Amino acid sequence: MGKLSSVWREADHRYRLVAHKCGNCGRVYFPPRDICPVCHRDSIGKMTEQELAGTGSIVSYTVVHDAPMAFSRQKPYIIALIELDEGPVITGQIVDSDPSEVDFGKRVHSVFRRIREDGKGGIIEYGYKFVVD
Amino acid sequence: MSEDVYIIGAGETKFGELWERSLRELAVEAGLKAVENAGVYSKDIQVLYGSNSLAGTINAQNDIGSLIADFSGIASNHIPAIRIEASSASGAAAVREAYLAIKSGEYDCVMVGAVEKMTDLYGPEMLDHVSTLLDREWEAFFGATPAAMAALTARKYMHDFNVEKENIMAIPISDHRNASMNPDAHFRNKLTMETAMGATMISEPLNMMDCAPMSDGAAALVIASGSFMKRNRLNGVRILSSGISQDFLALHSRNSIYTMDSTVLAARQAMEKAGLKHKDMSFLEIHDSYSIYGITAIEDLGFAKKGKAAEVIQSGIDINSALPINPSGGLKAKGYPIGAAGVSQFVEAVLQLTEKAGQRQIKDARYGMMHSIAGTGSTSLVHIVGGE
């Protein structure tokens, strides 16, 4: 699934959690958006990059047992919605944490990890995952 | 004054793992049944809307509109034949386009042909394709699947409203009971709570019995203006209203993870346009691709307050109750050919409203509500059919 150009294109956002901030209302968006869905045309040309701290808390979580091909070696794994301290809610895995520690509202921080690989000898894609504090 | 819109013919294939049937064979079978049921000829069809979600990746086949027209034998009629795609809401979206085409006055007789051939792939490879219903770059990329996203909703819903898993599982159990009376259904076995609760885990807290199956199947409708219907002395079931609304593609961008704003708004539009009240509905066909979406649908369509769907279920949702839900067997048990599911809901509605639903016939069925969502709720459609 992963193709080289898209891996390269999204690297900044996936490696360093680079978000877009609307210069009109101050809201922060991750994944980055070129147009603020609140300010619409007033935001044109005013979206600036902002690196996120990678800290936040768990909104909801699940343990995935039935996984797509690129993740079959990782299962079971935890997918969660994380509300970042700057505002955005994002989807990601929780790793290296005691499953009993994973709960609503628990504080987490981001780590840089291997996300998926495109078969043997294929592209390896990296990005953020989260660890319980 | 725009034209009234009627479904004058409906047909579908059996749903299931139909190894011996191809994408095009399924589409043609459903289409012929609909045309025959309508009592029209292929020359009467002025436009064809093909509905499909995943053939481009599963079957490596696009241009489904042309494919269906071609193998239905009407290529040389040279009518427009295009595909309508809105992931798992494709079918309902195609019906809406047909409805609008007639409302506009441009066409008098429109065909909707919906098909999904899913079992050409299976297992983890299939999950990659089905996960294209999500935001590929920011959900699926990290290992999220549609079931995982539904599980995130279910876990939070159960926590915030103190709901037991059994309350959610009541939907699949009811679906299976109804499907046992539907000869077209993928699964015709009844399901006990014990069996359902003990099924293989998919994405906690959802197990295999919370998840609609990957079915092959096709459904088709012939939709016509009131004047075409009368001119040709045909009968039909009226489409009273069509509501549609949109939301953020990814679940994490929405206002709520257990209220689908798109469904709330689409339902409001459909009810207002039909000029009806919730108590007027004789039955609902809801998009329970995952059991939790059946629960949230009951609430978001306006039949229960948020967190209170279990009360509606407890007061009865079977075909003899005040609010029958999924008389067809729903997505869970009738089956879930993704791009065809929405159209097959209308096939059920036609059977119910013309008193041809056999064993599962709802007494005095007058109005039906059809609900369809794309993926985790990025698009919702609500249609109301029936009346005079």
Instruction: Give the residue from A1, A59, A60 with the most B CB atoms within 10 Å of its CB, the best one to mutate.
Output: A60
Instruction: Give the residue from A61, A66, A102 with the most B CB atoms within 10 Å of its CB, the best one to mutate.
Output: A66
Residue type, B63: D
Q: Kindly determine whether residue A64 and residue B148, on different chains, have CB atoms separated by under 8 Å.
A: yes
Q: Do B219 and B366 sit in the same domain of this protein?
A: no
Q: Do B58 and B201 sit in the same domain of this protein?
A: no
Per DSSP, B333 falls in state I
CB B56 within 8 A of CB B67: no
Q: What's the maximum distance between 2 C-alpha atoms anywhere in chain B? A: 60
Q: Do B65 and B205 sit in the same domain of this protein?
A: no
Last residue of a domain, one of B238, B273, B305: B238
Using a 10 angstrom Cβ sphere, with 0-12 exposed, 13-18 middle and 19 or more buried, the burial of residue B85 is buried
CB within 8 Å of B108: residues ≥ 6 apart? B46, B102, B224, B225, B227, B228
* Block residue for tokens 């780590």: A111
Shortest distance, CA A107 to any CA of chain B (angstroms): 17
Q: Kindly determine whether residue A60 and residue B152, on different chains, have CB atoms separated by under 8 Å.
A: yes
Q: Do B265 and B248 sit in the same domain of this protein?
A: yes
Q: If contacts are CB pairs under 8 Å, which of residues 138-157 in chain B contact chain A?
A: 138-145, 147-148, 151-153, 155-156
Shortest distance, CA A63 to any CA of chain B (angstroms): 5
pLDDT digits (tens, 9 = 90+) for B184-213: 999 999 999 999 999 999 999 999 999 999
CB B5 within 8 A of CB B99: yes
Domain with B117, as residue range(s), is 5-122+214-238
Residues composing chain A = 133
A100 close to B (CB below 8 A): no
Q: Do B233 and B259 sit in the same domain of this protein?
A: no
- Cα separation, A86 vs B69, in Å, equals 52
- Cα separation, B171 vs B104, in Å, equals 38
Per DSSP, B334 falls in state I
Which residues of A are less than 8 Å from B137 in CB distance? 6, 10, 31
- Number of structural domains chain B divides into: 2
Q: Do B372 and B267 sit in the same domain of this protein?
A: yes
Cβ atoms within 10 A of the Cβ of B369, count? Answer: 31
CB B147 within 8 A of CB A66: yes
Find residue B217's DSSP bridge partners.
B116
pLDDT digits (tens, 9 = 90+) for A89-104: 999 999 999 889 999 9
pLDDT band per the 50, 70, 90 thresholds, residue A120: confident
Element holding B99 (H helix, E strand): helix B90-103
Q: Do B134 and B176 sit in the same domain of this protein?
A: yes
3-state percent helix, strand, coil for chain A, nearest multiple of 5: 15, 40, 40
Q: Kindly determine whether residue A68 and residue B145, on different chains, have CB atoms separated by under 8 Å.
A: yes
pLDDT digits (tens, 9 = 90+) for A32-77: 999 999 999 999 999 999 999 999 999 999 999 999 988 989 999 9
Tokens standing for B179? 């499907």
Q: Specify the CATH number for the domain of residue B311.
A: 3.40.47.10
Mean pLDDT for chain A? 93
* pLDDT-flagged residues of chain B (< 50): none
Residue type, B6: Y
Shortest distance, CA A6 to any CA of chain B (angstroms): 9
- Is the pLDDT reported for residue A2 higher than 70? no
The predicted pLDDT at position B1 comes to 63
- Cα separation, A55 vs A64, in Å, equals 23
Q: Do B155 and B99 sit in the same domain of this protein?
A: no
Tokens standing for B263? 């469904």
B20 close to A (CB below 8 A): no
In terms of Cα–Cα distance, which of B306, B202, B355 is closest to A75?
B202
Tokens standing for B221? 């409708």
Cβ atoms within 10 A of the Cβ of A47, count? Answer: 20
CB A13 within 8 A of CB B141: no
Q: Do B47 and B181 sit in the same domain of this protein?
A: no
Q: Do B191 and B281 sit in the same domain of this protein?
A: yes
CB B259 within 8 A of CB B157: no
CB B169 within 8 A of CB B309: no
Shortest distance, CA B331 to any CA of chain A (angstroms): 19
pTM of the model: 0.97
Q: Kindly determine whether residue B202 and residue A68, on different chains, have CB atoms separated by under 8 Å.
A: no
Chain centroid to CA B148: 21
Tokens standing for A9? 């294109």
Examine the predicted complex and report whether its ipTM is higher than 0.90.
yes
Q: Which domains does chain A have, with CATH numbers?
A: 4-11+53-132 (2.40.50), 18-51 (no CATH)
pLDDT digits (tens, 9 = 90+) for B13-39: 999 999 999 999 999 999 999 999 999
Q: Do B222 and B248 sit in the same domain of this protein?
A: no
* Block residue for tokens 């894609």: A125
CB B24 within 8 A of CB B67: yes
Residue in chain A nearest B129 by alpha carbon: A68
Q: Do B14 and B117 sit in the same domain of this protein?
A: yes
Which residues of B are less than 8 Å from A125 in CB distance? 141
Chain centroid to CA B166: 24
The predicted pLDDT at position A1 comes to 46
Which residues of B are less than 8 Å from A92 in CB distance? 142
Per DSSP, B227 falls in state H
